[in-house]
């Protein structure tokens, strides 16, 4: 969505509240009779889609006079679909995550959802009783300018790698804890004719990059210092650890599945389940899908991508809050929307049994998979993309800013060339 489209959508949301909607302000309270259509639009994933449908079934048991129209749109099409439906006023619950820009970043770089929130585009959920069910630290982490505009659905970690335990055991490979151990494991597997790594170059290669960043910048302070240094001009993208990110990524590309640049996320997941490679950089959001597809025959685990030479830097996984849900200010049926979010909170176990996220609600038992990675998640670390704010004035090579798309075979350059292109485009955005 362009900035112009965001502003237009914000004006539309703030200017109209027809059909029983509300023009900004606080959301209605839960209670009373609810009827009519309820339109929900989310970005699609197998597990969360099933979880939302389970919540909707519980909702319709309590509110039989509401017709729920649930739409799950592929990630690559979601923003465009959401933009058009927000402008049309034809959606009551959407995925949103407004983020405040830090002081060193120009306000012109605020994201789409922040602009919508500032324009009165989302209803304020602060103080809703059902929010008490959620982990307070998660709620605090999702506030925008002191207010809760969204409801978190769970936590995901995505700076790690799924691995096939049988392939590891059959070939004498142990979970690597340092960069040198990871390279040695890849060499050992490659020497036995096994593809070490899967990457979905067509739509999610950036996840592997975030894994590399995590070990080299292993906590929030390091990532904040990096972001502030880039904006202040004291840190360059083509030297030091910044260059090392792309150099290590280039090494991983060399161990990946042949022709991975054209591989889709769905194909990568299928190839992992079928044992075509030993590891893949991915997020824990894919756990339920892997478990369902692999059944009892697939024994797999997950560990932090060990990009640092120091094992201590590779101890924890970076993550984020998943699929935060908001009510647009021009929702036609905000009373049904708030009742559905209340149902999500009170029936969260139903949702998370299917979604497989790390739970956002206190006291809810998560997928057993998370017990196996508890040591890696005992200290929550925000992933790089949750701290980084893109500079809208920078060129395309610096939009991430680690230019993973420029490195062969995703692009045409080696790591040094891709880093130099990123630095040039970044500097252009600072002028």
pLDDT at 431: 85
Cis peptide before 70 (omega within 30 of 0): no
- Residues 146, 184 within the same domain: no
- Residues 53, 105 within the same domain: yes
- Given strand 381-382, what is the order of strands in its sheet? 154-157, 318-322, 381-382
pLDDT digits (tens, 9 = 90+) for 378-428: 888 899 999 999 898 999 999 987 999 999 999 999 999 999 999 999 999
- Residues 165, 293 within the same domain: yes
Q: What is the DSSP string of 210-279?
A: HHHHHHHS-SHHHHHHHHHHHHHTSS-TTSHHHHHHHHHHHHHHHTBPTTGGG--HHHHHHHHHTTSSSE
Whether 396 is covered by a domain: the verdict is yes
* Burial of residue 314 (number of CB atoms within 10 Å: 0-12, 13-18, 19+): buried
Integer Cα distance of 355 and 253 in angstroms: 30
- Residues 106, 229 within the same domain: no
Mean pLDDT of 338-351: 97
Q: Which residues contact 87 (CB under 8 A, 6 or more apart)?
A: 5, 8, 9, 12
* Global pTM value: 0.80
CB distance 351 to 51 below 8 Å: yes
Beta bridge partners of 256: 197
Integer Cα distance of 56 and 54 in angstroms: 5
Whether 385 is covered by a domain: the verdict is no
Integer Cα distance of 28 and 125 in angstroms: 9
| % of the chain surpassing 90 pLDDT | 78
pLDDT at 2: 40
Whether 384 is covered by a domain: the verdict is no
- Residues 227, 360 within the same domain: no
- Residues 287, 418 within the same domain: yes
Whether 80 is covered by a domain: the verdict is yes
CB distance 67 to 34 below 8 Å: no
Range with the lowest mean pLDDT among 4-8, 73-77, 100-104, 138-142?
Answer: 4-8
Range with the lowest mean pLDDT among 184-193, 263-272, 374-383?
Answer: 374-383
Range with the lowest mean pLDDT among 47-56, 234-243, 362-371?
Answer: 362-371
pLDDT at 13: 43
Whether 9 is covered by a domain: the verdict is yes
Whether 381 is covered by a domain: the verdict is no
CATH number of the CATH domain containing 346: 3.40.190.10
pLDDT at 204: 87
- Residues 194, 148 within the same domain: no
- Residues 285, 180 within the same domain: yes
Question: What's the number of domains the chain is made of?
Answer: 2
Whether 382 is covered by a domain: the verdict is no
Whether 37 is covered by a domain: the verdict is yes
- Residues 15, 150 within the same domain: yes
pLDDT at 8: 44
Mean pLDDT of 198-212: 94
- Residues 398, 251 within the same domain: yes
Task: Please determine, for residue 93, whether its predicted confidence score (pLDDT) is greater than 90.
Answer: yes
Domain that holds residue 163: 159-316+390-430
- Residues 152, 169 within the same domain: no
- Residues 130, 202 within the same domain: no
| CA max distance for the chain | 67
């Amino acid at each position: 969505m362009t900035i112009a489209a965001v502003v237009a959508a914000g004006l539309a949301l703030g200017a109209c509240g027809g059909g029983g909607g509300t023009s900004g302000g606080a959301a209605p309270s839960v209670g009373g009779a609810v009827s009519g259509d309820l339109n929900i639009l989310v970005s699609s994933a197998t597990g969360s889609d099933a979880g939302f449908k389970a919540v909707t079934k519980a909702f319709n048991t309590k509110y039989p006079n509401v017709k729920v129209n649930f739409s799950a749109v592929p990630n690559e099409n979601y923003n465009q679909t959401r933009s058009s439906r927000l402008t049309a006023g034809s959606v009551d619950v959407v995925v949103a995550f407004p983020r405040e820009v830090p002081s060193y970043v120009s306000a012109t770089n605020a994201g789409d959802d922040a602009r919508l929130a500032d324009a009165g585009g989302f209803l304020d959920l602060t103080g809703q009783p059902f929010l008490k069910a959620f982990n307070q630290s998660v709620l605090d982490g999702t506030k925008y300018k002191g207010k809760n505009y969204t409801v978190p659905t769970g936590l995901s970690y995505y700076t790690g790698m799924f691995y096939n335990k049988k392939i590891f055991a059959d070939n004498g490979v142990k979970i690597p804890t340092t960069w040198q151990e990871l390279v040695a494991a890849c060499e050992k597997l490659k020497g036995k004719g096994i593809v070490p790594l899967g990457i979905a170059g067509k739509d999610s290669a950036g996840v592997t990059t975030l894994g590399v960043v995590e070990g080299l910048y292993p906590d929030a302070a390091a990532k904040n210092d990096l972001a502030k240094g880039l904006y202040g001009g004291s840190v360059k993208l083509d030297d030091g650890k910044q260059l090392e990110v792309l150099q290590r990524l280039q090494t991983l590309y060399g161990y990946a599945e042949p022709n991975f640049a054209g591989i889709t996320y769905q194909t990568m997941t299928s190839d992992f389940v079928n044992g075509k490679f030993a590891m893949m950089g991915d997020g824990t959001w894919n756990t339920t899908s892997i478990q369902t597809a692999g059944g009892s025959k697939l024994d797999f685990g997950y560990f932090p991508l060990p990009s640092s030479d120091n094992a201590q830097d590779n101890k924890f996984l970076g993550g984020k809050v998943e699929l935060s849900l908001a009510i647009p200010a021009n929702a036609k049926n905000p009373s049904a929307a708030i009742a559905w979010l209340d149902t999500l909170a009170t029936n969260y176990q139903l949702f998370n049994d299917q979604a497989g996220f790390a739970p956002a609600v206190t006291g809810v038992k998560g997928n057993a998979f998370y017990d196996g990675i508890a040591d890696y998640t005992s200290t929550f670390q925000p992933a790089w993309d949750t701290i980084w704010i893109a500079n809208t004035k920078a060129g395309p090579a610096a939009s991430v800013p680690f230019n993973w798309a420029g490195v062969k075979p995703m692009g045409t350059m080696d790591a040094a060339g891709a880093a130099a292109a990123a630095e040039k485009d970044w500097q252009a955005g600072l002028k």
